[in-house]
Structure 1
Amino acid sequence: MRDLLITFIVFASLPLILKKPVNGALMWIWISVMNPHTQGWGFATTFPFALIIAVTTLFSIATARARKTPPANGITFTLLALVLWMNVTTLFALFPAAAHEQWGKVMKIMLMNLVIMVVVRSREDVHRMIWVLVLSLGFYGIKGGVFTAQNGGNFRVWGPPGTFIGGNNEIALALIVAIPLMRYLQLSSGNRWVWHGMNLTMILSAMAALGSYSRGALLAITAMLALMWLKSGRKLLGAVLLILLAPPALLFMPERWTERMDSIGAYQDDDSAMGRINAWHMAFNLAKDRFFGGGFEIAEPSAFAMYAPNPDAVHAAHSIYFQALGEHGFVGLALYLLLGGLTWRSAAWIVRHSRDDPQLRWAYDLAKMIQASVIGFAVGGAFLSLLYFDVPYYLMAALVAVRALVAQRRAAIAPATAANAGRTLHGRVAPEPPR
């Protein structure tokens, strides 16, 4: 039944995609983030839904009369430079067969992200995009939060198998990224059911993140909540809520959860932590030795034998930063950090230029919440191999669209502002010029 439902939804969306390419972008986000086919038990688990949606969307864009290029700004150019550099490093990959297979997967993600930048243009498009992201991840937040509450936190929360967010650490970080987006939807809606629904979803998503037993997630959710509090206009109320809600949530978790979190300070005695540090050393040594890095998929025994302090402890990078460094060298890491920096600055620009305009209040709230999502991902990603996780790239695309909309609004009101300034001099009407 689930397989048939997912198949019906996808094929029913195809006429809508042909009519408006943005519908294809939203369907792609749903398929790539929620991975609804993993919730089936039959043919849907391997059916190429994503390929069908991607091809239909590209055809729709090709036949449409609308703009076919993304807005020109720093984020777009840097992303294109990073994608180009990934293609170059693949030519010099240490393990060509594995690298080319991963290259195909990553290029699909990057292509569709550029497609999203092309077709997401209006406030409605952006709003719908955030709704799709929240519903896609909120499904697992509600499911995981209820599971944690039912079992007293004694069992770990896992994501959908075979996906970016299949692991306990990965699903936790994805939910942390989603929580500020839920807050944005709450702020942008006057519907009390949406307000209460988002409150419940945020609480359950936070419980699911805690129930993952991810130590990186604890650091990430702390950073995310701290930034949300700093960006809040009601800091006293926010502080009171955190004080009231955080201790009961932590006390609810069992002793073995507390013991695992306490091990953060004693990482020298933890094999998993030391394995990650060994992988970081390997990535750094490899990047020093090879200008182009090792290409995709370098977690191989032979690479560790050449570059790791402990050649027997073979691990994935477990860090977006060392993953970029090891796979794409110092140039790749620099481009990735630049992309993150430009994303932050773009959000800050939106906040600064929409603060005093009531019609741009939605942009102001969204940019602040995306900043909270970004800081959560930046902290949690330091301990996970999620360099190619698509959600942060979708948030970059959202900011590209929002910045363009804010710039259009400012350009539209600039002549009226200048005219009013010219008509007023020190609070009095300026005299008419002589004829």
Structure 2
Amino acid sequence: MTDLALLGFVTLLMLAGLRRPFIWVLAYIYIDIVIPQKIGWSIISAIPLSLLSFIAAFGGWLALDSKKGGRFTFRQGLLAILLLYCGITTLTAAFPESALTKWDWVWKALLFAMFLPLTLRTRLRIEAMVLIYVLSLAAIIIDGGIKTLAGGGGYGELKLLVVENAGIYESSIVSCAAIAMIPLALWLTRYGTIFKPDIRVKLFAAGLIFAALLMLVGTEARTGLLCIAVLGALMLRSVKHRFLYLGLAVAAVLMTIPFLPQSFTERMDTISSHEGDESASTRIAVWQWTIDYASQHPLGGGFNSYLANSFTYQTRTVTKVGDTTEVHYDTVTDEGRAFHSSYFEMLGEQGWPGLILWLWLHLLGIWQMERLRWRFGKREGGKESWQWGLATSLQQAQIVYLTGAAFVGIAYQPFAFMIVGMQCALWSYVRRVDREEIERARPHTQPWLRQNPQTTEPVTGSSVTGS
């Protein structure tokens, strides 16, 4: 029954795309995030939904969609260079078979992010992209929130829509994505036009945000806690009543702490001391190994080059017995451990050139969104505009992602590159619209540039006098 429901929904999206090809782009976003082919058990799992929707999205744009207003931005060029470079390192990877397995999905994430801005040519399309992005993540987050309330949480134990603990369904990754989604959900409650922001929309958004916060408890991922702390600080820049917001936030935290499960608080306590936690100690050891590896392989070792690592480290456990404190040291030998950080993931797999490209791509996005905030902030009523609001939300989402990326390997995750694609689209849209407004206003402010209807040449002084 689950297969039929999922397959029926995807089929409806694909049929709707015959009339509006852009819907195929939205269908791919849903399939790439939710991965319905892994939720089902029989029919749908045998169909290559991702590949079919990917071909439909590109083919529909090439053959049927209008190209008017589409622009190829500098950041899309950076994506193209990064895609090419990843392809080269895959051919020379230290572990070819493992590298090809990762390349199979990474190239689609990069190529789709590069292609996406070409389709988001209007405000309606940009909003539709944000809406599908939020609702796709909501399908996972609401499921996780309900199961957390039912007592099904625990690090690596919260069962979401699929049984595997990988990709977007991995505990740390989904907690990061859930927090990054919050500012975009809030933007829809204020500026949405597809679903007018009435009380129903706002109640749904409130419930979704509550579910996103529950994901932190359900997954017990320290990454999520750091992400929500960063988002809370970022929102101080944009809220109107900062002291009220700060007071409510502190009150909410104080009221929540007594209801948190003991396993959650104990895991969060390990943030301040990595020596007592094997997972955190592993991260430090892997990062040290990666720096050494990059010094010997400055161009990177290709995807999954972490398989070459092997190291020994010590963990410290402090226990209290009566009035005495005992400290135990254990020696742990490990090998083939993942990078546990997107920054070190890029460094180890793509070397210094890849890391620089990746950082350039994301830092440029933060700067561009700040430019848009500044541009609209100068205008009268500009901070009430949907452009200012979306630039703020996308910037917050990206910074939250970069925070989470410091502690989990999500350098190539599709949900992150979709944020990049939306930023490129907004940047291109605003520049194009502003340029068109200037051109429309020019005949009124510079009458000598008006076109002579008979000669189609600019009117000059000599033509006016008849000389």
Answer whether TM exceeds 0.5 for this pair. yes
- Residue 13 of structure 1 and its aligned partner are, at CA, apart by 2.5
Q: 1:103-135 CA distances to partner (integer Å, 9 max, x unpaired)?
A: 122112222222322212111111111111111
Query: Match of 2:42?
Result: 42
**What does residue range 76-91 of structure 1 map to in structure 2 within 5 Å?**
76-91=76-91
From 389, 392, 400, the counterpart of 2:424: 400
**What does residue range 123-272 of structure 1 map to in structure 2 within 5 Å?**
123-151=123-151, 156-159=157-160, 160-162=162-164, 163-189=166-192, 190-272=197-279
Please tell me whether the aligned partners of residues 180 and 397 of structure 2 are also in contact (alpha carbons under 8 angstroms). Answer: yes
The percent of aligned pairs where both chains have the same amino acid is 25
Report the residue type matching 2:208 in the other structure: T
- Residue 94 of structure 1 and its aligned partner are, at CA, apart by 0.4
Q: Which moved more, 1:37-46 or 1:261-270?
A: 37-46
From 311, 328, 348, the counterpart of 2:370: 348
Distance (whole Å) between structure 2 residues aligned to residue 418 and residue 368 of structure 1:
30
Q: Label 1:152 to 1:119 Cα distance change in 2 as closer, same or farther (>3 A).
A: closer
**What does residue range 309-324 of structure 1 map to in structure 2 within 5 Å?**
312-324=334-346
Please tell me whether the aligned partners of residues 343 and 396 of structure 1 are also in contact (alpha carbons under 8 angstroms). Answer: yes
Q: Label 1:46 to 1:383 Cα distance change in 2 as closer, same or farther (>3 A).
A: farther
In the alignment, is residue 285 of structure 1 matched against residue 292 of structure 2? yes
Distance (whole Å) between structure 1 residues aligned to residue 255 and residue 141 of structure 2:
19
In the alignment, is residue 373 of structure 1 matched against residue 389 of structure 2? no
Q: Label 1:65 to 1:420 Cα distance change in 2 as closer, same or farther (>3 A).
A: closer
TM-score calculated relative to the size of structure 1: 0.89
Please tell me whether the aligned partners of residues 142 and 205 of structure 1 are also in contact (alpha carbons under 8 angstroms). Answer: yes
Distance (whole Å) between structure 1 residues aligned to residue 440 and residue 13 of structure 2:
43
Q: Which moved more, 1:64-73 or 1:402-411?
A: 64-73
Distance (whole Å) between structure 1 residues aligned to residue 413 and residue 30 of structure 2:
14
Please tell me whether the aligned partners of residues 293 and 348 of structure 2 are also in contact (alpha carbons under 8 angstroms). Answer: yes
Q: Which moved more, 1:375-384 or 1:157-166?
A: 157-166
Secondary structure of the corresponding residue to residue 383 of structure 1: coil
Please tell me whether the aligned partners of residues 286 and 326 of structure 1 are also in contact (alpha carbons under 8 angstroms). Answer: yes
Higher helix share: 1
From 294, 303, 309, the counterpart of 1:304: 309
Distance (whole Å) between structure 2 residues aligned to residue 344 and residue 186 of structure 1:
23
Please tell me whether the aligned partners of residues 61 and 68 of structure 1 are also in contact (alpha carbons under 8 angstroms). Answer: no
Please tell me whether the aligned partners of residues 19 and 60 of structure 1 are also in contact (alpha carbons under 8 angstroms). Answer: no
Distance (whole Å) between structure 1 residues aligned to residue 65 and residue 139 of structure 2:
36
Query: Match of 1:17?
Result: 17
Query: Match of 1:428?
Result: none
Secondary structure of the corresponding residue to residue 111 of structure 2: helix
Query: Match of 2:51?
Result: 51
Distance (whole Å) between structure 2 residues aligned to residue 70 and residue 408 of structure 1:
9
- Residue 203 of structure 1 and its aligned partner are, at CA, apart by 1.4
Report the residue type matching 1:67 in the other structure: K
Please tell me whether the aligned partners of residues 152 and 158 of structure 2 are also in contact (alpha carbons under 8 angstroms). Answer: no
Please tell me whether the aligned partners of residues 122 and 401 of structure 1 are also in contact (alpha carbons under 8 angstroms). Answer: no
Q: Which moved more, 1:156-165 or 1:193-202?
A: 156-165
From 333, 337, 342, the counterpart of 2:355: 333
Q: Label 1:346 to 1:118 Cα distance change in 2 as closer, same or farther (>3 A).
A: same
Please tell me whether the aligned partners of residues 141 and 175 of structure 1 are also in contact (alpha carbons under 8 angstroms). Answer: yes
Report the residue type matching 1:74 in the other structure: F
Q: Label 1:186 to 1:374 Cα distance change in 2 as closer, same or farther (>3 A).
A: same
Distance (whole Å) between structure 1 residues aligned to residue 245 and residue 140 of structure 2:
25
Distance (whole Å) between structure 2 residues aligned to residue 50 and residue 415 of structure 1:
42
- Residue 418 of structure 1 and its aligned partner are, at CA, apart by 6.9
Distance (whole Å) between structure 2 residues aligned to residue 70 and residue 285 of structure 1:
44
From 390, 394, 402, the counterpart of 2:414: 390
Please tell me whether the aligned partners of residues 171 and 209 of structure 1 are also in contact (alpha carbons under 8 angstroms). Answer: no
TM-score calculated relative to the size of structure 2: 0.84
- Residue 154 of structure 1 and its aligned partner are, at CA, apart by 6.4
Report the residue type matching 2:227 in the other structure: A
Distance (whole Å) between structure 2 residues aligned to residue 358 and residue 18 of structure 1:
40
**What does residue range 40-119 of structure 1 map to in structure 2 within 5 Å?**
40-64=40-64, 66-67=66-67, 71-119=71-119
Report the residue type matching 1:366 in the other structure: L
Secondary structure of the corresponding residue to residue 312 of structure 1: strand
Q: Structure 2 regions of 5+ residues with no counterpart?
A: 314-332, 448-460
Distance (whole Å) between structure 2 residues aligned to residue 421 and residue 347 of structure 1:
30
Report the residue type matching 2:59 in the other structure: F
Over aligned residue pairs, what C-alpha RMSD do you find? 2.7
In the alignment, is residue 410 of structure 1 matched against residue 434 of structure 2? yes
Q: Label 1:158 to 1:232 Cα distance change in 2 as closer, same or farther (>3 A).
A: farther
Report the residue type matching 1:157 in the other structure: L
Report the residue type matching 1:342 in the other structure: L
Q: Label 1:204 to 1:266 Cα distance change in 2 as closer, same or farther (>3 A).
A: same
Distance (whole Å) between structure 1 residues aligned to residue 347 and residue 374 of structure 2:
33
Please tell me whether the aligned partners of residues 281 and 309 of structure 1 are also in contact (alpha carbons under 8 angstroms). Answer: no
Query: Match of 2:3?
Result: 3
Secondary structure of the corresponding residue to residue 317 of structure 1: coil
Report the residue type matching 2:158 in the other structure: V
Please tell me whether the aligned partners of residues 152 and 253 of structure 1 are also in contact (alpha carbons under 8 angstroms). Answer: no
Q: Label 1:299 to 1:30 Cα distance change in 2 as closer, same or farther (>3 A).
A: same
Distance (whole Å) between structure 1 residues aligned to residue 154 and residue 87 of structure 2:
44
- Residue 90 of structure 1 and its aligned partner are, at CA, apart by 1.4
